[in-house]
Copies of this chain bind each other. A is one copy, B any other.
Amino acid sequence: MTEPLRIIPLSGVSEVGKNMTLIEYGDDAIAVDCGLMFPENDMLGIDFVIPDVTYLLDNPGLLKGIFVTHGHEDHIGALPYILPEIPVPLYATRLTQGLIEVKLKEAKLLDKIKINTITTDSAIEIGPFTIEPFHVCHSIPDAVGYAIYTPAGLVIHTGEYKFDETPADGKPPDFDRLRSYGDDGVLVLLSDSTNSERPGRTPSEQIVSQAFEKIFGEVNGRIIVSTFASNISRVQQVINTAMKHDRRLAIVGRSMVDNVKMALKLGYLTAPDDMIIHIDDLDDYPDSKIAIVCTGTQGEPTSALVRMANREHYQVRLREGDTVILSATAIPGNEELVHRTLNNLFRLGVDVIYQQLMPVHVSGHASQEEQKLMLELIRPQYFIPIQGEYRMLVLHARIGEAAGIPKENIFVVENGQAIEFDEEGGFVAERVPNGQIMVDGLGIGDVGNVVLRDRHLLSKDGFVVVVVAVDSKDGTLVYGPDFISRGFVYIRDSEELIEEAKERIIDLMESGKTHRDTAATDLRDTLSQFLYQRTRRTPMIFPVVLEV
């Protein structure tokens, strides 16, 4: 081999290699996943964050295809933003393809991009790579990892996985396949670090089924289950339990309706013909015969569950006797919204069952013992923990060491850091560009630190614009001062403050202490000093001085 193999994790926010990972050899590269992240709380006004593909744009023609591991937003959500720039073929299993198609259709890209359906029995050859998808268990059916044969050796990318022997879709992990890769010899393992802070094993989806069974067996009123729209497996668990207890099921929330429809069509969800009813037909059945599946687990203000909790959902009016199951966990940063939703549901007299009270949700990611098992099955020469924040990568690296991988063969890196493998071995190479590409409305990457800093300042103390016009000949005040202010004080209750501020400015203008060249600066200084002294707030101040 003459060229080095290069592996480069890319991602939007703080998780390394979460949304995209590049595998490059010579003139060819493939990407695993192309997802988005939701903004952190201090990314004010940002819709979401996508991977920085500057490196691919700088090397046109390098990327030959994107291999998707599963259909969650953080793995497919950036496709509509990246594909117009880099229109390459996609490779995905059937359900994942279905979820991608919904996105590409909305973005009017469906006829421009080729999506290749792959199965765990297929192998795809692209340039120097042969790519073999393998089945993994995750919180969505049809999830895969990839075995990528390269001239430098075999690369295993686990995708997101847990080892669940009794998963909701009935397809246990393919231990034999993983072990056979290990037997063949693996150069490098890239493995899911999400739960490397958790000891032991992640419980099976079965305990969720058992919790559902217990609740459905005891409750006589309506049962409303809230989960992620993409959690098709969880919906199947609700269907199974509802069926057993002779309840019909209504689906609420646009994304949930779309996904369920698609999954039913493709056979990834199965339900008796007459079981799923329209939300408008709820009244045709007694409460004890009704279940509802809806979105809103993160307390999103416009979601179905939150509108129900706030009595703003006109089709579902919650009342005493109803039971709401929150079958998800709060993503860090969303806790306040989730807690508020829970409180509001309890205020309606509804019984609410959530993870702290009963195991109505389990993680879709491997905990420490499973991560260890993966390392022992694959027995890689090198190990790159991915899909986690930096601390999780460090903890996963320790598990790798405990599993016998030499410390110098483990790479804990940041997004944008290339790792190369050649005849000499593996080493940390150069960095490629990797910033936070923030999407805000139609703008992709145009909001940077300056705009964010201004939004932050405005969010704290607002702004004040002061407008004056002065005579161009003698500099005397002929108009103003006039104020525009928002987010600083409630103007109607602050007349005195505003009047006094005006007097200060008139004094300044008439004092002869300022002249045309410095008027704007003097105005700002005078005003900001006065306002700070009176309020201990620091609004952004903008003087407008017109000469007329």
Query: Which residues from chain A sit less than 8 Å from chain B, CB to CB?
Result: 14, 40-42, 44-45, 197-198, 332-333, 335-336, 339-340, 342-347, 352, 356-357, 389-391, 394-395, 440-443, 446-448, 450-451, 454-463, 465, 467, 469, 478-479, 482, 484, 486-490, 493-494, 534-537, 540, 542, 544, 546, 548
Given contacts A332-B335, A339-B332, A548-B479, contact A463 B486 (CB under 8 A): yes
Which residue of the partner chain B has the closest CB to A542? B484
Which residue of the partner chain B has the closest CB to A349? B394
Given contacts A451-B462, A458-B458, contact A544 B346 (CB under 8 A): no
Given contacts A458-B458, A488-B451, A537-B443, contact A333 B332 (CB under 8 A): no
Instruction: Check A45–B447 contact: CB distance below 8 A.
Output: no
Which B residues are CB-close (under 8 A) to A493? Answer: 446
Rounded to whole angstroms, the CA-CA distance of A236 and B391 in the bound complex is 29
Query: A394 contacts which of B333, B346, B490 (Cβ < 8 Å)?
Result: B346
Rounded to whole angstroms, the CA-CA distance of A186 and B35 in the bound complex is 59
Known: A357-B395, A458-B458, A459-B459. 13 other contacts (CB 8 A): A45-B460, A45-B537, A197-B357, A198-B356, A335-B335, A346-B394, A440-B537, A442-B534, A443-B535, A451-B462, A454-B462, A455-B458, A458-B487
Instruction: Check A441–B544 contact: CB distance below 8 A.
Output: no
Query: A446 contacts which of B332, B440, B482, B490 (Cβ < 8 Å)?
Result: B490
Query: A546 contacts which of B40, B352, B469, B494 (Cβ < 8 Å)?
Result: B469
Query: A391 contacts which of B346, B440, B456, B469 (Cβ < 8 Å)?
Result: B346
Rounded to whole angstroms, the CA-CA distance of A277 and B515 in the bound complex is 56
Instruction: Check B41–A41 contact: CB distance below 8 A.
Output: yes
Nearest-neighbour CB distance to chain B for A317, whole angstroms, equals 20
Interface SS of chain A: mixed
Which B residues are CB-close (under 8 A) to A357? Answer: 197, 395
Given contacts A197-B357, A390-B343, A548-B548, contact A461 B45 (CB under 8 A): yes
Which B residues are CB-close (under 8 A) to A487? Answer: 44-45, 451, 454-455, 458
Nearest-neighbour CB distance to chain B for A433, whole angstroms, equals 17
Which B residues are CB-close (under 8 A) to A462? Answer: 45, 451, 454-455, 458
Which residue of the partner chain B has the closest CB to A547? B479
Which B residues are CB-close (under 8 A) to A14? Answer: 339-340, 343
Instruction: Check A467–B544 contact: CB distance below 8 A.
Output: yes
Rounded to whole angstroms, the CA-CA distance of A469 and B347 in the bound complex is 54
Given contacts A339-B14, A389-B343, A451-B462, contact A546 B486 (CB under 8 A): no
Nearest-neighbour CB distance to chain B for A161, whole angstroms, equals 21
Instruction: Check B450–A490 contact: CB distance below 8 A.
Output: yes
Nearest-neighbour CB distance to chain B for A510, whole angstroms, equals 20
A and B contact pairs by CB, cutoff 8 A, 27 listed? A42-B336, A44-B459, A45-B487, A332-B336, A333-B335, A333-B336, A335-B335, A339-B389, A441-B536, A442-B535, A442-B537, A446-B489, A451-B487, A454-B486, A455-B458, A455-B487, A456-B459, A459-B459, A463-B486, A465-B465, A467-B546, A469-B548, A478-B548, A479-B548, A482-B544, A546-B546, A548-B548
